[in-house]
Amino acid sequence: MKLDIDKLMNECTFTTVRSSGSGGQNVNKVETKVTLFLNIAQSQVLSDVQKQSILEKLKNRINKDGILQISSDVERSQIMNKKAVVIKLEKLLIKALHIGEKRIATKRTLKSIQKRLDDKKRQAEKKRLRSGDF
């Protein structure tokens, strides 16, 4: 299913706080860390199936109120951290909404079965010869 990230951004809330880490004196006066909040249950963009899939697959990142929280403080500017958070959200949602192909069980070939049995016999013979019971 295609996800419209621009519409989803309208439902997100961003907060900023002072970030720790590199930045020198900038760290002490500018709020560069950005945190994104998205209420999964109240989203108008996501379908019920998508919501259920996200709640299952991202349960470690969603709090008890059903709010997905992502933060970034790797960059030195607030704008770059906001972009980083949006990219993280997009990657997380794409991964959570991905439906993998079902694996089809296959039967072993007769040749592979025979090869395994021959290898077993060869190994058993080698062990028998080593033990001195010949």
Residue 128 covered by a domain:
no
Which tens digit of pLDDT belongs to each residue from 30-54?
A: 788 899 999 988 888 888 898 898 8
Domain with 27 in it: what CATH number? 3.30.160.20
- pTM surpassing 0.85? no
What is the average per-residue pLDDT within 14-23?
76
Is 67 in contact with 37 (CB distance < 8 Å)? yes
pLDDT tens-place string over residues 82-110? 999 999 999 999 998 888 889 999 999 99
- The range of the structural domain enclosing residue 27 comes to 5-97
Order the strands of the 67-72 sheet from edge to edge: 13-17, 33-39, 67-72
22 to each of 19, 33, 105, 111, how far by Cα in Å? 9, 12, 52, 61
3-state secondary structure of 84: helix
- Measured CA to CA, the distance from residue 55 to residue 41 in angstroms comes to 9
Residue 25 included in any domain: yes
